[in-house]
């Protein structure tokens, strides 16, 4: 199996698009790590979600790809291909803030975790302090993916549409494909390949890439530093 892996809102959907373009088969699986080290998985078919035994994912060969947010022991994947995409955590936070799960209100606010309404700055602060996917802070969750910087093929969201990165992905997967064409059609502006939009989730994409500078203020920066996200920037190579 080819695992298109990364922290949510880091660009994993783009990896799916690339694998599809390179003519691998979408297994329509989605697998996630739980904080206790176990996995959960579901199969998505025709818009329906079916929870499955995670072992079904691991029996597929490398002709198939799936969407994943997996962070535990890389050695478990020795028989598989794993491409993990990394992104500046500040821009990932902004993208997560803009993600609007149902139910939504016309006023632009939305329910988060089914309990209360959060939007904009308050959503960013909640993600920084309370984490994502049952992990205690955004830094804790993101840091759990750091082992993938040294295993499989790590790539960067910021360079995902460049010729060099796309060649690295193609060569790692042992595939053929016109990466020059793919590079010119991968990100933004409503571009399509085979009449299919090449950007990721409609719920997030607004026509422009996220820019954390547009949302940051002293309170957000203080929370970012208090939870250790500033050291995470150095670990990921985004300190500047």
Q: What is the predicted pLDDT for the residue at 19?
A: 94
Q: What is the predicted pLDDT for the residue at 183?
A: 86
pTM across the whole model: 0.85
Q: What is the predicted pLDDT for the residue at 100?
A: 60
Q: What is the predicted pLDDT for the residue at 73?
A: 80
Q: Read off the tokens for 63.
A: 């002709």
DSSP 143-207: HTTGGGGGSSEEEEGGGTTSHHHHHHHHHHHT----HHHHHHHSSSTT-EETTEE-S--TTT--S
List the one residue out of 217, 73, 238, 215 whose CA is nearest residue 229. 238
Q: Along the chain (240 residues), what's the average pLDDT of each consecutive run of 10 residues?
A: 94 91 92 87 75 91 94 86 96 83 46 56 90 83 93 94 95 93 70 50 51 92 93 87
List the one residue out of 92, 62, 203 whose CA is nearest residue 156. 92
List the one residue out of 24, 8, 67 whose CA is nearest residue 175. 24
Q: What is the predicted pLDDT for the residue at 182?
A: 85
């Amino acid at each position: 199996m080819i695992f298109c892996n990364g922290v949510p809102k880091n660009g994993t959907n783009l990896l799916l698009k690339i694998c599809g373009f390179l003519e691998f088969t979408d297994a329509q699986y989605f697998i996630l790590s739980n904080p206790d080290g176990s996995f959960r998985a579901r199969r998505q078919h025709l818009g329906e979600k079916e929870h499955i035994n995670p072992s079904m994912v691991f029996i597929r060969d490398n002709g198939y790809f799936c969407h994943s947010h997996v962070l535990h022991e890389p050695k478990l994947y020795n028989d598989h291909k794993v491409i993990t995409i990394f992104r500046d955590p500040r821009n990932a936070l902004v993208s997560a803030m803009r993600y609007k799960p149902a139910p939504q209100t016309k006023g632009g606010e939305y329910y988060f975790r089914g309990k209360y309404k959060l939007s904009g700055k308050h959503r960013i602060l909640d993600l920084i302090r309370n984490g994502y996917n049952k992990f205690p802070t955004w830094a804790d969750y993101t840091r759990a993916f750091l082992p993938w910087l040294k295993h499989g093929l790590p790539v960067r969201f910021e360079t995902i549409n460049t010729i060099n990165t796309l060649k690295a992905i193609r060569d790692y997967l042992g595939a053929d494909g016109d990466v020059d064409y793919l590079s010119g059609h991968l990100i933004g502006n409503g571009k399509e390949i085979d009449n299919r939009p090449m950007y990721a989730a409609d719920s997030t994409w607004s026509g422009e890439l996220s820019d954390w500078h547009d949302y940051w203020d002293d309170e957000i920066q203080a929370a970012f530093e208090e939870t250790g996200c500033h050291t995470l920037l150095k670990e990921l190579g985004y300190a500047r």
